[in-house]
Amino acid sequence: MLILVGTLKWAGQVGGQTNKKTGEVIPVRNVISIEEARDDGRPALIELTVPDLAPYESKLGKDVQIPVRAYVPGGGQVAFFPRAQ
């Protein structure tokens, strides 16, 4: 199991707008942003879609540990997915 460790920077909802060209409604999703320290000293901001924001809203600005799954499509950038608990 992989554990994503970092500082919780933001928790909120995104989406809900309508695409002006197609008229498609973009679904609302719950998102958290975690700042993680990298080996080169620069921070990395990782966004995760989560089923519920309630467990994270009280942890803003604090260090968190979130169990995740990781996927690397075609050797590109790593994509993280929260594990179902």
Average pLDDT over the chain reads 87
How big is the CA angle at 7 (ends 48 and 4), to the nearest 5 degrees? Answer: 55
The total of structural domains in the chain comes to 1
Give residue 8's domain range: 2-82
Backbone angles phi, psi at 23, to 5 degrees: 80, 0
pTM, two decimals, is 0.77
Using CA atoms, how far apart are residues 29 and 85, in angstroms rounded to an integer? 18
Q: What is the CATH number of the domain that holds 21?
A: 2.40.50
Predicted confidence (pLDDT) per residue in 38-78, tens digit: 888 888 899 999 999 999 999 999 999 988 887 777 767 67
Are the beta carbons of 33 and 66 closer than 8 angstroms? no
Alpha carbon separation from 55 to 11, 26, 32, 35, 50 (Å, rounded): 10, 24, 11, 17, 10
